[in-house]
């Protein structure tokens, strides 16, 4: 059972900070009775919770990069079409689309630095 209980090693109750090391991953805090689930990180603070937040942060960072990539892609398509046809209309359209992507990326980027 050591391996199973090991998941709570170095973790504390989110509510009261009680050290949950060696306790079952899921259950009620012996100190304050708050529910915890170390598998999902619910009600858990400490090392495991940091890891979960960092994972979430990476996912958001990835979203920002994808949005910036899409913005560059749509501008690229507009420029490509413009250089071939000499028409500005698609460039204006893809420019607006890429602006939307950039705005979304900025909004998502700002949330990266809000903790
Ligand atoms: Zn507690």
Read off the pLDDT of residues 36-56 as tens digits, 9 standing for 90 and up: 998 888 888 875 556 666 677
Give the angle 55-100-114 at the CA atoms, nearest 5°.
35
What spacing in Å lies between the alpha carbon of 51 and ligand 1's midpoint?
20
pLDDT over 90 percentage in the chain: 38
> What are the CB-based long-range contacts (under 8 Å, 24+) for 56-63?
57/112, 60/108, 60/111, 60/112, 61/112, 63/108
Task: Answer whether 0.75 is exceeded by the pTM.
Answer: no
Instruction: Give the Å distance between the CA of 99 and the centre of ligand 1.
Output: 47
pLDDT on residue 81: 87
Q: How far is the CA of 20 from the centre of ligand 1 (A)?
A: 9
pLDDT, tens digit (0-9, with 9 covering 90-100), for 16-32: 999 998 899 899 999 99
- The phi-psi region of residue 22 (left if phi > 0; otherwise alpha if psi is between -120 and 50; otherwise beta) is left
How far apart, in whole angstroms, are the C-alpha atoms of residue 60 and residue 100? 17
Q: Is the pLDDT of residue 2 over 50?
A: no
The CA 32 to ligand 1 mean position distance, Å, reads 4
């Amino acid at each position: 059972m050591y391996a199973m209980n090991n998941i709570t090693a170095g973790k504390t109750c989110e509510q009261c900070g009680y050290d949950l090391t060696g306790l079952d991953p899921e259950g009620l805090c012996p100190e304050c009775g708050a529910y915890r689930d170390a598998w999902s990180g619910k009600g858990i603070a400490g090392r495991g919770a940091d890891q979960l937040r960092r994972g979430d942060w990476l996912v958001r960072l990835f979203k920002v990069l994808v949005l910036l990539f899409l913005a560059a892609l749509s501008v690229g398509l507009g420029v490509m079409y413009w250089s071939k046809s000499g028409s500005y209309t698609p460039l204006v359209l893809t420019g607006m689309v890429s602006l939307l992507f950039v705005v979304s990326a900025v909004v998502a980027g700002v949330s990266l630095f809000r903790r």
